[in-house]
Amino acid sequence: MRKNWLFPACALLFAAAMLSARGYAGFGTTVPVSAETATNIARSLFPVSLKSGTDNLFLTDPVVIFIDDRRIGLQARLQVYDHRPEQGIAISEEAQAQVSGEVGYDPKTRQILLYEPRIDQLVFDNANELTRRLHAAVLAAWEVQVTNPIRAEVPPHPFIAPFKEGIQDVTYEKRSIFIQVWYP
């Protein structure tokens, strides 16, 4: 009995296996992101303007901090203002703010997540009745408008651009951010 069919059959089986595994061929790597690099990425997205009722929020000077083994924070200068000259209103107060949360990633939507977000600090430069009202208004707006998790697009920053399409996960461990990347 001749076994001439054995080699072509094995070659065909090998080729089929390689073609079916083609989607998995590639390599992965982990890209560490320091607090300094994260701050530079954040700065490329600022200033940020938000609306909160009749008040406007203007955020500048972001700094990313690694708070503990689970949470990262973002400190920023905050200006709360309401300018309605036709009604005789011209309010402007500044504060230092810090928000924090636990980092995650949604591979389906390709968004960075911030779980359990909270305002850790909101301290106005001036302490008076107006700033107490603004403080309460900012906290109330946070409760109404902020979701858990907060979802954000991956920033279009030059540090991230070379591997943006290959991001599989974003984690935070041992006071470092890690981006897991897969290259097909």
Write the DSSP string, 122-162. EEESS-SHHHHHHHHHHHHHHHHH--SSEEEEPP--TTTGG
What CA–CA distances, in Å, run from 142 to 51, 66, 122, 125, 161? 11, 22, 12, 20, 31
Angstrom distance (rounded) from CA 110 to CA 31: 17
- What is the pLDDT, as a whole number, of residue 9? 40
DSSP string across 91-110: EEEEEEEEEEEEEEEETTTT
Which residue ranges form the domains of the chain, and what is each CATH number?
25-183 (3.15.10.40)
What rounded mean pLDDT belongs to the chain? 87
Q: What pTM does this model have?
A: 0.80
Q: Is 38 exposed, middle or buried (CB count within 10 Å of its CB: 0-12, 13-18, 19+)?
A: buried
Tokens in use for 66? Answer: 């690694």
Q: Is the pLDDT of residue 52 over 90?
A: no
Residue 132 makes CB contacts below 8 A (sequence gap 6+) with none
The answer to whether residues 152 and 112 touch, using CB atoms and an 8 Å cutoff, is yes
Angstrom distance (rounded) from CA 44 to CA 147: 23
Residue 147 makes CB contacts below 8 A (sequence gap 6+) with none
pLDDT band of residue 13 (cuts 50, 70, 90) is very low
Is 82 or 129 the better-scoring residue by pLDDT?
129
Q: What is the pLDDT of residues 155-183, one digit of tens each?
A: 999 999 999 999 999 999 988 999 999 98
Tell me the mean pLDDT in the region 43-57.
90
Other CB atoms within a 10 A radius of the CB of residue 108 amount to 5
